[in-house]
């Protein structure tokens, strides 16, 4: 690939596990509502509620928990009890307090690249929760800047790159989401490396990978990143 001087990293499901925590809670949520509706109905209704609330709540555990409570009330016609709502609140607290588990190869890769490139975290979600996870990850020292955004679209990336005086042609974004980490950066003229995660939230799915020869790089693991950047 062409030389780059700055590398942006997504956080959730790129540096540490996140979606698997949500999936385990989804399983418990389906079980909680199983006597009211089948799993497919629960999943579809919860997702629709999340999408409807996204502009107000944003991304993250807190918005998910509020949407889960709202969905439970709707699907039970208001019959859900206070004890069950308490369970949903407790699940949200457990998610927020969950240990940060790094993905394989992350610590070694960042340590190797920090000496040769300017590294940034560019992620989205709840500010307090993302700050907590970064602090617990032990990775913060590798990054020159931390950007926690409400959305990751073309305009947001353009603003970040301008703020840090980084030309798109000299920038590489690394992430697991084609929608949020790859497509907006390619649209700006930057490069992007896709490191897939086994689980993908429905809102982040796109139909197919982009066609951008010389700027889009599918990787099997974050461990492959230093070789991609090697002259």
How confident is the model over 175-186, as pLDDT tens digits?
Answer: 999 999 999 999
Mean predicted confidence (pLDDT) in 201-227: 91
The residue among 101, 108, 106 whose CA lies nearest residue 18 is 101
Mean predicted confidence (pLDDT) in 142-151: 96
Whether the pLDDT of residue 142 is over 80: the answer is yes
Mean predicted confidence (pLDDT) in 118-138: 96
181-211 per-position pLDDT tens digit:
999 999 999 999 999 999 999 999 998 888 8
Cα(219)–Cα(173) distance, rounded to whole angstroms?
Answer: 12
Q: What residues does each domain of the chain span?
A: 6-16+101-229, 19-96
In terms of phi and psi (left: phi > 0; alpha: psi -120 to 50; beta: otherwise), the region of 78 is left
pTM exceeds 0.85, yes or no: yes
CB 122 within 8 A of CB 147: yes
* Residue 157: per-residue pLDDT: 98
CATH number of the domain at 19-96, out of 1.10.3720.10, 1.50.10.10, 3.90.650.10, 1.10.150.240? 1.10.150.240
* Residue 1: per-residue pLDDT: 75
Mean predicted confidence (pLDDT) in 8-36: 97
Q: Return the DSSP state at 180.
A: I
Q: What is the chain's mean pLDDT, rounded?
A: 96
Q: Does domain 6-16+101-229 have CATH number 3.40.50.1000?
A: yes
The per-residue DSSP string of 94-127 comes to HHHTPPP-BPTTHHHHHHHHHTTSEEEEEEES-H
């Amino acid at each position: 690939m062409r030389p780059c001087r700055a590398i942006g990293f997504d956080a959730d499901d790129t540096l540490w596990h996140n979606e698997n925590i949500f999936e385990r809670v989804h399983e418990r949520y389906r079980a909680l509502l199983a006597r009211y509706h089948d799993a497919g109905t629960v999943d579809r209704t919860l997702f629709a509620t999340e999408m409807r609330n996204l502009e107000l709540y944003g991304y993250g555990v807190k918005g998910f928990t509020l949407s889960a409570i709202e969905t439970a009330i709707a699907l039970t016609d208001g019959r859900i009890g206070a004890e069950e709502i308490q369970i949903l609140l407790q699940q949200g607290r457990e998610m927020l307090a969950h240990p940060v588990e790094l993905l394989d190869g992350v610590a070694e890769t960042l340590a190797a690249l920090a000496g040769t490139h300017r590294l940034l975290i560019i992620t989205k979600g709840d500010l307090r929760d993302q700050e907590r996870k970064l602090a617990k990850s032990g990775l913060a020292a590798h990054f020159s800047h931390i950007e926690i955004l409400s959305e990751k679209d073309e305009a947001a990336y353009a603003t970040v790159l301008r703020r840090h005086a980084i030309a798109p042609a000299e920038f590489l974004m690394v992430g697991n989401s084609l929608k949020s980490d790859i497509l907006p950066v390619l649209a700006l003229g930057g490069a992007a490396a896709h490191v897939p995660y086994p689980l993908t939230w429905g809102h982040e799915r796109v139909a197919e990978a982009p066609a951008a020869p010389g700027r889009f790089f599918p990787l099997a693991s974050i461990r492959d990143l230093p070789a991609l950047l090697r002259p």
